[in-house]
Amino acid sequence: MTARYNHSTNRVRQLLRERNSIAPREDDELNHAIEWIFQRAALLRMSILTVVLSATFSGLQVLTGILECLFVCDLQFLKLAFLLASIGFLLASTIYFVREVSLSTKAIGLSVHH
């Protein structure tokens, strides 16, 4: 995901430089390409953020298990909440990633047919 994100942001920068070099006239295709790649980068950013949050909640679940053993207390509810949060963020990350791949495929299809 990070490689795709880096490629998208680099491509937007490249297209922005290209657009600035033809500044006096408007290029609708170029503007459209920039917008699509920017949307892809936003989806990838959200996917990366949510997968990091999922990993964070997984780590908190492990920490809760350790604290439970150290202090001999029942933290089952907290561990369950962290597990559900972790799964929820992982699911959200997957959805963002699938949307990005779908948008990327659609953009490639438009380029091929153009």
pLDDT tens figures, 15-73? 888 888 876 677 888 888 889 999 999 999 999 999 999 999 999 999 999 999 999 99
Is 93's pLDDT higher than 70?
A: yes
- d(Cα 31, Cα 18) in Å, to the nearest integer? 10
Is 78's pLDDT higher than 70?
A: yes
**Could you give the C-alpha distances from 100 to 45, 60, 86, 88, 96, in angstroms and in order?**
10, 29, 21, 19, 6
